[in-house]
Amino acid sequence: MLDQLLGLIQQNSQQAIVQNPAVPNEQNEDVMQTLLGSITGGLQEQAQSGNIQGLMGLLSGNSGATAGGLMNNPIVASIASNAIGSIMQKFGINNSAASGIVASVLPGVIGGLISKVSNSGDSSIDFNSILGGLMGGGGTQAASPASGFDFNQIGYALADGKLDMNDLVRVGGSFMGGGQSAAPANNQQQQGGLDLGGLLGGLFGGK
């Protein structure tokens, strides 16, 4: 995940950082690394605090924010605030310049990450690898606290903009380990501390 994020930051930083007179050339890479740390730290904080619903909504492009309005997403807004503060503190850049850097770079980076993660044809990074890594599982398919849970099943169902019967069957099979029968709708299942009923209800309740 780090390599993909750093690549996206570099792609979106030419004008905002490299050609920015407020950033000395010798600090270009350090500013990019600071942005990387703010993004990964912010996403990890959300994952470890249990906001899987919010992360899945954001990474699937189903969070309600358009590409141009990503900064209105609460997760992205929190990352932006932390990034601005870190850049000001580390490099002595004023608030206006730091805010301009973050506002120019962050939407493109997050938008690019969403495009990669939600594209089932892009094998460089997916829902399992990013969420597993953020939750401390090393990025494997069964990396979440719910043993055997496949985040890709629900992520791609959200990303395609519709939840048909095939989507629900795949998601249900993933949650229930593939062969177990589903629990009653009013009986929330918890595996390893992940509230599956609450997660499903939050993600699908409005559909």
Asked whether residue 93 falls in the same domain as residue 183, the answer is: no
- For 50-84, the pLDDT digits (tens) are 888 889 889 888 765 555 578 899 999 999 999 99
Count of domains observed in the chain: 2
Which of the listed residues 88, 117, 146 is the one where a domain comes to its end? 117
Helix (H) or strand (E) holding 17: none
pLDDT digit string (tens) for 114-170?
999 888 788 788 888 888 888 774 433 334 444 456 777 777 777 776 544 455 455
Same-domain check for residues 62 and 106? yes
User: Is 144 inside a domain boundary?
Assistant: yes
Q: Is residue 151 part of a domain?
A: yes
Q: Which helix (H) or strand (E) holds 5?
A: helix 2-11
Sorted by sequence, the CB contacts under 8 Å of residue 86 that are 6+ apart come out as 34, 37, 38
Residue 176 inside a domain? The answer is: yes
Alpha-carbon distance of 132 to 144, in angstroms, equals 5
Cβ atoms of 10 and 32 within 8 Å: the answer is yes
Helix axes 52-59, 28-48, angle to 10 degrees: 130
Query: Whole-model pTM?
Result: 0.73
71, 89, 117: which is the final residue of a domain? 117
Q: Are residues 58 and 90 in the same domain?
A: yes
Structural domain containing residue 150: 137-204
Residues 13 and 87 in one domain: yes
Residues 147, 177, single domain; the answer is: yes
